[in-house]
Amino acid sequence: MTQILAEDLEKIGLQANEAKIYLALLELGQSTVTHISKLAGLNRTTGYDVLERLCLHGIANRSASSKKRLYIAEPPSRLRYFLENQKKQIGRRLEELENFLPDLQSLFKTELKPVIKFAEGKEAMINMYSHILDSKNTVYSILNLKGYAEIFDEVGASQSSERAKRGIKEKVLAIDSETARWWYNKTYKNNKKRQRATEYRWLKLDGRYSAAGEVNIFDDKVVGMLSKPSENVAFEIQSQTFADFLKIIFEMAWTKSTIK
């Protein structure tokens, strides 16, 4: 039971030693550093440092009723205040980051040759796919949903929703299929906000090529998601020249595509 509770406390942000000391403190009620540390299975020096941190977190306190330094646990409900305080701190840090992020970005130099990154496995692919949400301009997408929507249905819908919230426009050239029409209707048909942010046009596939996935062109990046079982990989190419070439080709195909 104690081990399970320790793991639960770690999940909400306490360090492993903090969880052990806090549980020992709850069990003892009020005690000295030595007794608390012993019950937690830690040495006295480590126990003292951890107890002081718990006091700073607001989930433990020093007792002033004895000549000896005693510590007492705050009620477990105080963990809510601990988490709320952590949330406020993260908010402040995000604000501070925004202040000096442009300076960091100016130091981030890329070579003239393209920077190429790969991601394998669904979670890594989703993480790379989320880079689209950093786009400062229209996203140009080439999309074959057959064999892709079945795997990344929720991811695509979530990205469409978040992109619309951020006001990022997208032009989509989609290979026409029953799967593609089904996914489009489910994701966009009754959602005017998403429709305003996303424009679809359709391409007929003549059967010469086999593809499943998506290629997104935005700013100076090209992000591809290849979902065939033999591939299951994402890639990102950072090159303004390459991205611009693909944007030109995209616009040429856009004029030849079907609106509905």
Q: Where are the domains of the chain?
A: 2-79, 115-256
State the pLDDT at residue 64: 65
Mean pLDDT, residues 75-86: 87
With a cut of 60, say whether residue 102 has pLDDT above it. yes
Please say if the pLDDT value at position 112 is more than 80. Answer: no
Instruction: Tell me: pLDDT of 84 over 80.
Output: yes
pLDDT-based confidence at residue 248 (cuts at 50, 70, 90): very high
CATH topology classification for 115-256: Endonuclease; Chain A (3.30.870)
Is the model's pLDDT at 110 over the cut of 60?
Answer: no
- Per-position DSSP letters for the chain, written without gaps between them: -HHHHHHHHHHTT--HHHHHHHHHHHHHSEEEHHHHHHHHT--HHHHHHHHHHHHHHTSEEEE-SSSS-EEEEPPTTHHHHHHHHHHHHHHHHHHHHHHHHHHHHHH----SSPEEEEEESHHHHHHHHGGGGG-SS-EEEEEE-TTTHHHHHHHHHHHHHHHHHHT--EEEEEE--HHHHHHHHHHHTT-HHHHHHEEEEEE---SS----EEEEEETTEEEEEE-STTT-EEEEEE-HHHHHHHHHHHHHHHHHSB--
Residue 106: per-residue pLDDT: 73
Thinking of the domain 2-79, which architecture would CATH place it in?
Orthogonal Bundle (1.10)
The model's pTM is 0.59
Q: What average pLDDT score do residues 163-177 get?
A: 90
> Is residue 260 predicted with pLDDT exceeding 60?
yes
Percent of the chain residues topping a pLDDT of 70: 92
- The domains spanning 2-79 and 115-256 adopt the same CATH topology: no
